[in-house]
């Protein structure tokens, strides 16, 4: 099988598809924080021009997944310990109130979607794919913000969750940091029952536990090459 591009049978890559693929690889911990994202290498992998790659990297820099520095190029963002605390403190402020609002707006279809996310997340853990589980956990949280009908706050939360993925990649202490065994189930039950106060309290407790499960002293240096990380 040729490795000159991610796929030889797919349509030509666009900046959006490249941004999505890189985002997914970062969220799934296939590309480690601090990894250099060379325009030439990515252009060769995807069979596109550097201009297309540059647009994709700019998209990811806007949501703080990628750092772009003059004369140094692009790399996966690498949050500091201070930033890690700030991100989780911000989530602890925003998401509990969002969960309260979601409990007042959730439909049967919304609940079914959240339950599918949980099922997929647990399957990923069973398949020993914690990076995939983390990505799905993030989607679960962004869906709650959508259900709450708070579009502006949902945008903030999406960015914070993207940063959280990088933080967990660096400071992961225990696998259960992804999601305590029943945390998401309990949240869904509260949302389905319209229990706004309970949903708010459960979300706050879940995020505090997630924050405390991180070892904000050491860095995890696991990494793959870009070609291996982006192979689908």
Residue 129 lies in a domain: yes
Asked whether residue 74 falls in the same domain as residue 85, the answer is: no
Q: What residue numbers bound the domain in which 149 lies?
A: 81-212
Asked whether residue 70 falls in the same domain as residue 96, the answer is: no
Asked whether residue 143 falls in the same domain as residue 201, the answer is: yes
CA atoms within 13 A on the CB side of 19: 18
Asked whether residue 89 falls in the same domain as residue 193, the answer is: yes
Domain count, the chain: 2
Whichever domain contains 171, its CATH number is 1.20.120.530
Whichever domain contains 24, its CATH number is 1.10.10.10
Nearest Cα to 208, choosing from 80, 84, 89? 89
Asked whether residue 115 falls in the same domain as residue 201, the answer is: yes
Asked whether residue 145 falls in the same domain as residue 206, the answer is: yes
Residue at which a domain ends, from 63, 78, 93: 78
Asked whether residue 71 falls in the same domain as residue 37, the answer is: yes
Asked whether residue 44 falls in the same domain as residue 147, the answer is: no
Give the CA diameter of the chain. 54
Asked whether residue 138 falls in the same domain as residue 115, the answer is: yes
- If you ran DSSP here, which 8-state letter would residue 33 be given? T
| Distance, CA of 95 to CA of 204 (rounded, Å) | 7
- pLDDT tens track, the chain, 232 positions: 344 445 445 678 899 999 989 988 887 778 888 899 999 999 999 999 999 999 999 999 988 889 999 888 999 998 899 999 999 999 999 999 999 999 999 999 999 999 999 999 889 888 888 778 888 888 999 999 999 998 899 989 988 988 888 888 778 765 544 555 578 999 999 999 999 999 999 999 999 988 888 877 654 455 567 777 777 5
| Distance, CA of 45 to CA of 4 (rounded, Å) | 5
Q: What is this structure's pTM?
A: 0.72
Residue 219 lies in a domain: no
């Amino acid at each position: 099988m040729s490795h000159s591009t991610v796929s030889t049978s797919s349509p030509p890559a666009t900046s959006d598809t490249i941004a999505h693929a890189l985002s997914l690889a970062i969220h799934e911990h296939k590309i480690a924080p601090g990894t250099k994202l060379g325009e030439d290498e990515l252009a060769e992998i995807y069979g596109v021009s550097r201009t297309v790659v540059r647009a994709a990297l700019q998209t990811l820099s806007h949501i703080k997944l990628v750092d772009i520095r003059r004369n140094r190029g692009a790399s996966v963002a690498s949050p500091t310990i201070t930033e890690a605390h700030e991100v989780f403190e911000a989530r602890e402020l925003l998401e509990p109130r969002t969960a309260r609002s979601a409990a007042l707006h959730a439909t049967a279809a919304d609940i079914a979607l959240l339950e599918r996310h949980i099922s997929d997340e647990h399957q990923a853990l069973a398949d020993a794919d914690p990076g995939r589980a983390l990505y799905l956990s993030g989607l679960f949280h962004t869906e709650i913000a959508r259900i709450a009908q708070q579009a502006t706050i949902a945008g903030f939360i999406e960015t914070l969750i993207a940063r959280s993925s990088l933080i967990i990649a660096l400071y992961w202490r225990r696998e259960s940091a992804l999601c305590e065994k029943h945390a998401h189930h309990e949240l869904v039950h509260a949302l389905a029952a319209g229990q706004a106060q309970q949903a708010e309290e459960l979300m706050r407790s879940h995020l505090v536990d997630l924050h405390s499960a991180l070892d904000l002293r050491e860095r995890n240096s696991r990494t793959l090459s870009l070609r291996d990380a982006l192979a689908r």
